[in-house]
Amino acid sequence: MSDTGWPVQTWRKSSRSSHLDCVEVARAADRRHILVRDSKCPDGPQLSMTCDDWRYFVCALIGGLDPPAYADRPT
């Protein structure tokens, strides 16, 4: 169980993470939220966001691309 109160199935670490700068992500059991944590501090705080917000976040990171459903969101 995560400290957000949502059980998670599996935490996954990015293959691009270094041993110093690692984040892990997991889908909450409700299947509507994504959780993010620092892999060096697995019992520390976690960031939670909806799956839609996660998609927007990832698209912004990989080149500023807006998914069609988010065309009206600020950049």
* Domain residue spans of the chain: 12-67
The torsion defined by the Cα of 46, 52, 56 and 59, in degrees rounded to 10, comes to 100
Q: Give the pLDDT confidence score for residue 1 in this predicted structure.
A: 43
Number of helices followed by number of strands (H, E) in the chain: 1, 4
Q: Give the pLDDT confidence score for residue 50 in this predicted structure.
A: 93
Collect the ranges in the chain with pLDDT lower than 50.
1-2
Distances (CA, A) of 17 to 22, 38, 62, 69, 73: 5, 11, 15, 29, 28
Residues 6+ apart with CB under 8 A from 15: none
Per the CB < 8 A criterion, the answer to whether 24 and 39 are in contact is yes
